């Protein structure tokens, strides 16, 4: 096990019995160099996505006994979306462990790659424990504890951010395209948004509008939490 992998397992508070599962979870499909067989990484990502959704739903059901289904659903969506997964992946320094052919891919698609990798890692822990949810439940609660009471962003995060700024007597949020990469049929945009007096936040998306919405959501969540 590499030093980066040891650091990862220490932060997880979990040691793999089968280290091959850990390797599968951090080996991006691009690293297979054209191997046509089903990707273990993608299969673990599929499994981790479903198990995580269940555990977060269960947790919310327990700690918010008086909330409606709709309110729980909004909270759930805020906790399992790619932006929240990215935040958690970065606290784990997951990017330092990932096996990719081209490191530039991570810069262009950081949100998608790291969020997918975290789901694969959760799937790997679930498999390593022989599908015992108690162990994984403990890991998920440890990782998601700082976020579990996060308020869900409104559907129109850009409008909410604008209203917040106006309510504080500040100028309108400023959006700026940082970069555009990838092929014409599948571009990736990186956009930043800033409210005067506050640090800018960046996000990427398959369109300029999508990236702006993600960036607005992240900044809005940060500002209302402050």
**Quick one: 70 and 38 in the same domain?**
yes
Q: What residues are annotated to the active site? A: 49, 119
Closest CA to 97 of 26, 15, 21: 26
Question: What pLDDT digit, counting tens, does each position of 197-222 carry?
Answer: 999 999 998 889 889 988 998 898 88
Task: Give the angle 201-86-170 at the CA atoms, nearest 5°.
Answer: 20
Reduce the secondary structure of 168-204 to three states and give it as a string: CCCCCCEEEEEEEECCCCCCEEEEEEECCCCCCEEEE
Contact partners, residue 128, CB within 8 Å, separation at least 6: 16, 17, 18, 21, 22
Question: What pLDDT digit, counting tens, does each position of 115-146 carry?
Answer: 899 999 999 999 999 888 999 999 999 999 99
User: Which SS3 state, helix, strand or coil, does residue 2 take?
Assistant: coil
**Last residue of one domain, picked from the residues 144, 165, 196:** 144
**What tokens appear for 107 in the block?**
């810069």
**CATH code at position 186:** 3.30.160.20
Enter the pTM of the model.
0.68
Tally of structural domains, the chain: 2
Residue 106 located in a structural domain: yes
The residue segments making up the domain with residue 48 are 3-144
């Amino acid at each position: 096990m590499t030093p980066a992998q040891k650091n990862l397992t220490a932060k997880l508070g979990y040691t793999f019995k089968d280290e091959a599962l850990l390797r599968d979870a951090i080996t991006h499909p691009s690293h297979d160099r054209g191997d046509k067989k089903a990707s273990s990484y993608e299969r673990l990502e599929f499994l981790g996505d479903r198990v995580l959704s269940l555990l977060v739903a269960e947790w919310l059901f327990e700690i918010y006994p008086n909330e409606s289904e709709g309110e729980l659903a909004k909270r759930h969506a805020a906790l399992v979306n790619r932006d929240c997964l990215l935040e958690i992946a970065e606290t784990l320094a997951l990017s330092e462990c990932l096996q990719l052919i081209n490191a530039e891919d991570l810069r262009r698609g950081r949100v998608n790659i790291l969020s997918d990798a975290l789901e694969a890692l959760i799937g790997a822990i679930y498999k390593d424990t022989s599908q015992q949810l108690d162990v994984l439940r403990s890991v998920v609660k440890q990782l998601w504890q700082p976020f579990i009471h996060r308020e869900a962003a409104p559907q129109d995060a850009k409008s909410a951010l604008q209203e917040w700024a106006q309510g504080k007597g500040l100028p309108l949020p400023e959006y700026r395209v940082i970069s555009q990469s990838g092929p014409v049929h599948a571009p990736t945009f990186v956009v930043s948004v800033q409210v005067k007096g506050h640090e800018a936040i960046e996000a990427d998306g398959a369109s300029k509008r999508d990236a702006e919405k993600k960036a607005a959501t992240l900044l809005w969540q940060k500002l209302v939490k402050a």
